[in-house]
């Protein structure tokens, strides 16, 4: 039996990818603690040529995203590598609702006169198609953070573009299990592997994947120049974590669907945003485009910021913390995060983990009672 990507289904690929077959080799991809290698082989220096364990993670994620990958020190290091490739004076278009770090990076460069920046509503497909024809970088994020709006990636990717432009998709919320942007026509797919790939909130790592040899070479060259390399322990943990990603995501998104439906009926909850709910503004695109609706839910607590903070402090099993994609559920009031003050003050983002769904619901239902005190 062949163990290549085309011969294996995704769940098997997650477990089998990146391992060697040599008798006597360790079953797991070892931590390779080496900055340099014996001369004459394919690798000389780790920052230039990577290590065998980086390559294992790159093979694995590349197979999931259906391209070839470069691993970085964090999701933001990966994003920065894409921006670093832009020519002076480039035009960039970003979603209005997108990861705040990406907005900050883009705004900082625009303030320094490096590029010209504009932003669009995630679901304004016509505006994206129009912008694609005159932008050097089309940066998409879908589903978006934290409003979970789904962009019509296929339509936007099919739009006529400037020669040499790059269309990149932040695929962190969907994960490569629910969405493969390269198959929809994107040039680059980006993952903060800090989230679902690692899955245990114990590392930061980022990955870029492309089908273009030219882009792959340029992205590797950016990593080499910038030094934004992954740590050896982080790569080991990411490989260990990703083996169970399909199980974790299946469970978490099943629970998220249940919680989203119940939250929608709850007296202390206003709007619930979850792409799997028929009430979600981009539910139809989500159904057509995503393999699953994911495990992130945003909702408004009835009441002001203080009432919402009381709810966040009252949760127990769900941890009051930022970030997402871990085995443990986390929840926070997003407008309390620096750079997110524009969001509705009582909007909460919940990342559903793999705990028992009924325990999670008891915790949420009980904590929501605190909004009325």
Ligand X SMILES: *Cc1c(COP(=O)(O)O)cnc(C)c1O
Q: Does 192 bind ligand X (CB under 6 A)?
A: yes
Q: According to CB under 6 A, which one of 75, 109, 146, 294 is a site residue for ligand X?
A: 75
Active site residue 134: no
Q: Which is nearer to ligand X, 32 or 296 (CB)?
A: 296
- Is 179 a binding residue for ligand X by CB under 6 A? The answer is no
The contact pattern for ligand X, residues 81-120, with x = CB under 6 A and - = no contact, is: ------------------x-x-------------------
What is the smallest separation between the CB atom of 172 and ligand X, expressed in angstroms? Answer: 4
Judged by beta carbon, residue 60 or residue 94, the one nearer ligand X is 94
Is 170 catalytic? The answer is: yes
CA dist., res. 173 & res. 358, Å (int): 24
Active-site choice (195, 251, 333, 334): 195
Contacts of 113 (CB under 8 A, 6+ apart): none
Does residue number 346 form part of the binding site for ligand X (CB under 6 A)?
no
Which residue in 99, 152, 273, 274 is the catalytic one?
Answer: 99
Residue 29 sits at the vertex; the CA angle it makes with 25 and 33, to the nearest 5 degrees, is 100
Given 5, 19, 43, 47, which residue is catalytic?
47
Q: Out of 50, 63, 199, 206, name the contact with ligand X by CB under 6 A.
A: 206
- Whether 205 and 74 have beta carbons less than 8 Å apart is answered as yes
Of positions 145, 210, 268, 289, contacts ligand X by CB under 6 A? 145
- CA torsion through residues 360, 363, 365, 370, sign: negative
Question: Of 314 and 343, which has the nearer Cβ to ligand X?
Answer: 343
159-178 residues near ligand X, rule: CB under 6 A: 170, 172-173
Q: What is the number of the residue whose Cβ is closest to ligand X? A: 75
**Structure-block tokens of residue 158:** 């099919």
CA contacts within 13 A on the Cβ side of 3: 12
| Residue (290 or 307) nearer to ligand X, CB | 290
251 is catalytic: no
Nearer to ligand X, 204 or 286 (CB): 204
| Residue 351 C-beta: closest distance to ligand X, Å | 10
Considering CB under 6 A, how many residues would be counted as binding ligand X? 15
Q: Least separation, in Å, of the C-beta of 170 and ligand X?
A: 5
**Rounded least distance, CB 171 to ligand X, Å:** 8
Nearer to ligand X, 206 or 353 (CB): 206
Among 195, 251, 280, 349, binds ligand X (CB under 6 A): 195
Residue 273 known to be catalytic: no
Say how many C-beta atoms besides its own lie within 10 A of residue 255's C-beta. 21
41 CB contacts (<8 Å, ≥6 apart)? none
Q: Give 233's contacts (C-beta < 8 A, 6+ positions apart).
A: 31, 203
Nearest approach in angstroms of CB 198 to ligand X is 9
Using CB under 6 A, pick the residue from 149, 189, 194, 371 that binds ligand X: 194
Does residue 76 touch ligand X according to CB under 6 A?
yes
Binding site for ligand X (CB under 6 A): 74-76, 99, 101, 141, 145, 170, 172-173, 192, 194-195, 204, 206
For the annotated catalytic residues, the residue numbers are 47, 99, 170, 195
């Amino acid at each position: 039996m062949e163990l290549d990507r085309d011969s294996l289904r995704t769940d098997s690929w997650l477990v089998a990818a990146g391992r060697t077959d040599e008798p006597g080799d360790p079953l797991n991809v070892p931590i390779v603690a080496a900055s340099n290698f014996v001369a004459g082989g394919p690798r000389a220096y780790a920052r230039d040529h990577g290590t065998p364990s980086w390559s294992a993670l790159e093979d694995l994620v590349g197979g999931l995203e259906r391209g070839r990958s470069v691993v970085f020190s964090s999701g933001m290091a990966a994003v920065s590598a894409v921006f670093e490739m832009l020519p002076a004076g480039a035009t960039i278009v970003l979603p209005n609702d997108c990861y705040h770090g990406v907005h900050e990076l883009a705004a900082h460069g625009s303030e320094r006169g490096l590029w010209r920046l504009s932003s669009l509503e995630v679901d304004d497909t016509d505006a994206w198609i129009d912008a694609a024809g005159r932008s050097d970088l089309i940066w998409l994020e879908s589903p978006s953070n934290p409003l979970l709006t789904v962009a019509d990636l296929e339509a936007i990717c099919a739009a006529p573009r400037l020669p040499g432009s790059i269309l990149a998709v932040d695929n962190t919320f969907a994960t490569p299990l629910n969405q493969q942007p390269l198959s929809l026509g994107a040039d680059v797919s980006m993952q903060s592997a800090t989230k679902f790939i690692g899955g245990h909130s114990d590392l930061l790592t980022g990955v870029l994947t492309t089908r273009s040899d030219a882009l792959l070479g340029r992205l590797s060259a950016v990593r080499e120049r910038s030094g934004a390399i992954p740590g050896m322990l982080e790569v080991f943990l990411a490989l260990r974590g990703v083996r169970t990603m399909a199980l974790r995501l299946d469970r978490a998104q099943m629970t998220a669907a249940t919680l989203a439906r119940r939250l929608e009926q709850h007296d202390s909850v206003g709007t619930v945003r979850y792409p799997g709910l028929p009430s979600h503004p981009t539910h139809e695109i989500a159904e057509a485009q995503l393999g699953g609706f994911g495990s992130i839910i945003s909702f408004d607590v009835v009441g002001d910021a203080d009432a919402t903070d009381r709810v966040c402090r009252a949760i127990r099993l769900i941890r009051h913390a930022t970030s997402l994609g871990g085995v443990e559920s986390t929840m926070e009031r997003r407008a309390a995060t620096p750079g997110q003050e524009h969001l509705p003050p009582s909007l909460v983002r919940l990342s559903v983990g793999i705990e028992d769904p009924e325990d999670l619901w008891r915790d949420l239902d009980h904590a929501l009672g605190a909004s009325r005190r």
